[in-house]
């Protein structure tokens, strides 16, 4: 891994910071799945850093991680949305204050639980682009009338999270016409996670990654 653990938000929060080779680029927040800030998320941060972004992955569980679904669900349900939102907002402020940012733009990508949080952050005025992967809205009801940035959604064909997508899309499109949502055929929840071989779909993962890079570059112009 190429990044490092840093502290931010009056030293009370931790996250994984990964920089591009030239140390300069637009900002990007990566939000964890329900497992926590695990190795996979750090590697995703490194991958985006290699593509020119200054990346910070906040540790929303404050050091706790899960290896079993029941444990992960417990951590997710115990997460306080207000605290998580404050944490992410502090992470965005940290990036904007870095000299490494080549442009004052910060995007937000989230997976599963983090995907839901990225949708929520799109309504707060703190980010400039949002990319939810199979976003699950847990303990939060975003005010879609406050969506202030473009959204690119990646969803699986066979996934309970996708059932809510038509309603989410309908609400967002009442207020913005620059968002797009893809449903990847023959995929399941967490298709981007190459450490979960039972659901990983290389074709969908690679296609969504390319689309995400293109979307961020376009949104940050």
Q: Tell me which residue of 94, 83, 23, 22 sits closest to 57, measured CA to CA.
A: 94
For 146-189, the DSSP string reads G--S-BEEEEEEE-GGGGGHHHHHHHHHTT-SS-EEEEEEEEET
Average pLDDT score over residue span 95-119: 96
Show the tokens assigned to 144.
Answer: 């879609």
Asked if 51 and 26 count as a contact pair (C-beta separation under 8 A), the reply is no
Residue 66 and residue 105: Cα distance in Å, rounded?
32
Query: What's the pLDDT band for 45 if we cut at 50, 70, 90?
Result: very high
Share of the chain above pLDDT 70, in %: 100
Do β-strands 4-8 and 13-18 pair in parallel, antiparallel, or remain unpaired?
antiparallel
Q: Is the pLDDT of residue 140 over 90?
A: no
Residue 137 and residue 97: Cα distance in Å, rounded?
29
For 52-73, the DSSP string reads T-EEEEE-TTTT---SSHHHHH
Query: What's the pLDDT band for 139 if we cut at 50, 70, 90?
Result: confident
Domain 4-219, CATH: 3.40.50.1820
Domains of the chain by residue range: 4-219
H or E stretch covering 30: strand 25-31
Q: Is the pLDDT of residue 96 over 90?
A: yes
């Amino acid at each position: 891994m190429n990044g490092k653990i840093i502290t931010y938000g009056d030293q009370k929060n931790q996250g994984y910071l990964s920089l591009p080779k030239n140390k300069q680029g637009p900002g990007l927040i990566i939000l964890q799945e329900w497992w926590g800030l695990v190795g996979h998320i750090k590697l995703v941060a490194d991958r985006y850093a290699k593509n020119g972004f200054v990346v910070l992955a906040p540790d929303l569980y404050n050091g706790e991680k899960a290896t079993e679904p029941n444990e992960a669900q417990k951590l997710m349900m115990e997460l306080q949305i207000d605290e998580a939102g404050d944490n992410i907002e502090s992470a965005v402020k940290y990036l904007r204050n870095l000299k490494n940012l080549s442009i004052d733009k910060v995007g937000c990508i989230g997976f599963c639980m983090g995907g839901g949080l990225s949708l929520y952050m799109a309504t707060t005025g703190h980010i400039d682009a949002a990319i939810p992967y199979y976003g699950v809205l847990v303990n939060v009801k975003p005010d879609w009338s406050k969506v202030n940035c473009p959204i690119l959604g990646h969803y699986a064909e066979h996934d309970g999270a996708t059932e809510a997508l038509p309603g989410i899309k309908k609400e967002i499109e009442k207020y913005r016409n620059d968002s797009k949502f893809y449903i990847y055929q023959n995929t399941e929840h967490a298709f981007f996670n190459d450490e979960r071989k039972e659901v990983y779909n290389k074709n969908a993962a690679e296609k969504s990654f390319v689309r995400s890079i293109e979307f961020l570059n376009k949104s940050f112009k």
